[in-house]
Amino acid sequence: MTRAEMEQLKIIPAEIKAIKESLANPSYQYVNLYYKDYRTGKGIPKSSSEYDYDHQEWERLKKKLREKLAKLARLRTRAEKFIEAIEEPETRTILRLYYINGYTQDAIGKELKYDDSSISKKIDTFWKNSNNSN
């Protein structure tokens, strides 16, 4: 895997959260209700109007959410295999905590008793020494 692909593991969950928030709070619009006049075949406004959410947008967001969840699952599976292939246990732990579990470098530093700058250097060093650094 490349560094850019691993970074997606940190970005996609934020996208998923934003989509879920949009689904939980859909934007409403004012709509006129129509019924069909079977004599002419044309829509005639009813006497009432209401607020309703955009059903097409709702379906588009649901589809996008499913796609992002599937992409995240695929990336996590690939990332786990990639990380397991790393020989050094400390590097495996740092990469797993950072990319898969979403820890900050500061939190990893506290967990492993390092400065957060040391964690940053260890991640950078790994990618510089890796053939997959892109």
Please state, in angstroms and rounded to a whole number, the distance separating the CA atoms of residues 114 and 111.
Answer: 8
Question: Among candidates 99, 53, 43, which has minimal Cα distance to 76?
Answer: 99
> pLDDT tens digits, residue range 70-84?
999 999 999 999 999
Please state, in angstroms and rounded to a whole number, the distance separating the CA atoms of residues 7 and 11.
Answer: 7
Q: Is the pLDDT assigned to residue 21 strictly greater than 70?
A: yes
In this prediction, residues 125-134 reach a mean pLDDT of 77
In a 3-state reduction of DSSP, which class is residue 49?
strand
Per-residue model confidence (pLDDT) at position 40: 74
- State pTM to two decimals: 0.72
Share of the chain above pLDDT 90, in %: 63
Q: Are 119 and 93 in contact (CB under 8 A)?
A: no
Q: Which helix (H) or strand (E) holds 95?
A: helix 89-95
> pLDDT tens digits, residue range 27-71?
766 666 666 666 776 766 665 555 566 777 888 899 999 999 999
Please state, in angstroms and rounded to a whole number, the distance separating the CA atoms of residues 65 and 54.
Answer: 17
Question: Among candidates 73, 100, 91, which has minimal Cα distance to 130?
Answer: 91
Q: Are 43 and 34 in contact (CB under 8 A)?
A: yes
Q: What's the chain's average pLDDT?
A: 86
Cα 119 to chain center, whole Å? Answer: 24
Question: Among candidates 119, 98, 110, 114, which has minimal Cα distance to 3?
Answer: 98
Per-residue model confidence (pLDDT) at position 29: 67
Strands annotated E in 1-134:
28-37, 42-53
Q: Is the pLDDT assigned to residue 8 strictly greater than 80?
A: yes
